[in-house]
Amino acid sequence: MNLKDINVLVTGGAGFIGSNLVEALLNLEANVTVFDNLETGKIANLQEFEENERFTFINGDIRDFDACVNAVKGIDVISHQAALGSVPRSIEFPHNTHAVNATGFLNMLHAAKEAGIKRFVYASSSSVYGDINISPKVVGTEGNLLSPYAVTKQLNEQYAKVYARLHGMETVGLRYFNVFGPKQDPHGVYAAAIPKFIDKLMNGEEIIINGDGEQTRDFTYVLNAVKANILSLTTDNQSAFGGVYNVACGEYYSLNKVINEIQQNLKSFGKFNNNSTIVHGPERPGDVRDSLADITNTKADLGYVNPISFNAGMSDYLKSMFS
């Protein structure tokens, strides 16, 4: 399916991944409606699209079913990116996480079903693998969940699978692995690691690493997540519907190595501050030690080939900051 002139709803489109997806969809000449309550998203992420006649913004909350029903009017396909992220936040405020990620998800899914919208692509998470120590992570080999956030994401997958079976909806779940890139907020208690590291290394501030820093992650450049969404919105592969797919690079880096890579890149741009120090703190509750994705099925079923590597993504990310 070509997305030209297709009406696409992006929930959470003012967020980090969502706003990058909006840009790509508009470049493909889709008509894009963003549905976001701006609780964690930023209107500044969308300002560059305001004059685009193909772009529409709806300020609304996925916890409000009537608002969801209104948002899906005239829509052809949905990319559901809206969520309350962060494992630590979900441990501290589980009710909020459940209301947004579970009830909000069901609201959107059911509103789509009622409107006769078949294609429903949504953001899941590598957190659903829980404490499984098998590496790489393969869909179908999940362990015990470690946080309320992970519980909500697994629940999303189950609801999507049920709606695919009951109502013939073309759901596709994308398990993101540690996504980073432009428009990711480095500030706040629940900021992701990479933008926080960059900000502190530029400003000569102390970096606190939970644990010894040898824990590994399959850090994934945001354009890989964008690519996976577009492939999922356009695929005609029937076997993909009702399924979930890892979205990553299939390569892992320790946090210590990531910091070193960022330092080297910042030095090349003349932006590294030698006053930065690294402190190792206690391990964080709910975190897994190692996380590497198997992307075999993602390649086979969605055509997700040649993902951008961590090094290439980091270089592109920093160029976008300093150009």
Higher pLDDT, 133 or 228: 228
For residue 230, tell me if it sits in a domain: yes
For residue 200, tell me if it sits in a domain: no
Instruction: State the DSSP code for 98.
Output: H
For residue 266, tell me if it sits in a domain: no
Give the pairing type, strands 220-221 and 179-180: parallel
At 323 the pLDDT is 76
Q: Provide mean pLDDT across the span 198-223.
A: 92
pLDDT band (50, 70, 90) for residue 188: low
For residue 304, tell me if it sits in a domain: yes
Question: Which two tokens mark 213?
Answer: 């820093």
For residue 272, tell me if it sits in a domain: no
Contact 28, 51 (CB under 8 A): no
For residue 267, tell me if it sits in a domain: no
**Enclosing domain of residue 25:** 7-181+219-250+293-308
Contact 8, 76 (CB under 8 A): yes
Looking at the 3D structure of the chain, how many domains does it have? 1
For residue 301, tell me if it sits in a domain: yes
Taking the model in full, what pTM does it have?
0.94
Q: Provide mean pLDDT across the span 263-279.
A: 89
pLDDT band (50, 70, 90) for residue 286: low
% of the chain residues with pLDDT over 90: 80
CATH of the domain at 301: 3.40.50.720
Q: Provide mean pLDDT across the span 244-253.
A: 95
% of the chain residues with pLDDT over 70: 98
Q: 173: closest CA among 191, 188, 193, 153?
A: 153
Alpha carbon distance 42, 313 (integer Å) = 23
For residue 195, tell me if it sits in a domain: no
- For residue 80, list its beta bridge partners: 11, 122
At 87 the pLDDT is 85
